[in-house]
Amino acid sequence: MKKHGYAATLVVAVLALITGAGLTWATTHHAPRTTHPQPTTHGEWVWIKRATDSLRLYVAYPERRDKAPTMIIIHEIFGMTDWEPTVADRLAAQGFIAAVPDLLSPRFGKTPQLATPQESADSGRKLIAQLAPDAITADLDAVSKYLDELPAARKGDQGVIGFCWGGGQTFRYTTNNPRLKAAVVCYGPAPDSTAMAQIRTPIKGIYGENDARITAALPGVDSTMRTLGKKFDPTIYPGAGHGFLKPGRQGSDGPAVEKAWGDIVGFLRTNLGR
């Protein structure tokens, strides 16, 4: 009788242990996290058909019940990398439909992904150098039109953001697309004063303190924009170098990144709405 009672007690204890372990596993792997909820988004790859070629595009959608403002993202001089879609996802999480085109794709196919990141970067840079400004504008116009015609988009409430080479292209694109309501130039050079005179878009500038190659010209750019009566709001972030919004660059692991993104989103919401 004592043996039977001991066995029964042992079985109950083992079952309790198994059940407890099962509950612990379920809690760890299946229960939703409630401490830091993150907005979910939906991203997809599409090809925009054009007259003689196609343009590859990553589009990220926010989860919202109403139509959303739209954003065009222009990549760096290395072409499309794994990072730019994460920028689209970040903007989508803030309520924007965001699209980043692979600007090499109509002429060269997808941005090369070679054996090493350095080989890919070198190849992308060489191919970018072969793109004509008018062709880049035509591709960006195609993206602008595509976004405006999406059923989920709030037509006309559109902005653009670009990084490094893409920052310069963003500045230049505002001289060609007066319908843009907001532009964010991230450490990119400005066009000449004749082109600046064509700008109708409010521009936010994002610059790193340790990036004299770009920031040395900034006082002149700011002065010219003010003289022309253009809306230009540049900010220089302490401790940050060129390209600091991308992981691996100087300042990318410091406070400048979140501060800059807060400024960017605030600027976009002011000019595009929520």
Q: What's the pTM value of the predicted model, to 2 decimals? A: 0.84
Q: CA end-to-end span of the chain, whole Å?
A: 73
pLDDT digits (tens, 9 = 90+) for 34-70: 343 455 678 999 999 887 889 999 999 999 999 999 9
Return the SS3 of 179: coil
Angle at 128 between CA 161 and CA 50, to 5 degrees: 75
pLDDT digits (tens, 9 = 90+) for 78-94: 999 999 999 999 999 99
As a whole-number percent, the residues of the chain with pLDDT over 90 amount to 76
Six-digit token pair at 256? 């400048």
Is pLDDT of 246 > 70?
Answer: yes
Write down the pLDDT at residue 52: 82
Write down the CATH superfamily of domain 41-272: Alpha/Beta hydrolase fold, catalytic domain (3.40.50.1820)
| CA–CA dist 68, 65 (Å, integer) | 9
Task: Average the pLDDT over each of 96-100, 124-128, 198-202, 212-216 and give the range with the smallest value.
Answer: 124-128
Residue that is written with structure tokens 């959303």 in the block: 68
Write down the pLDDT at residue 5: 44
Kindly state the average pLDDT of the residues 131-159. 96
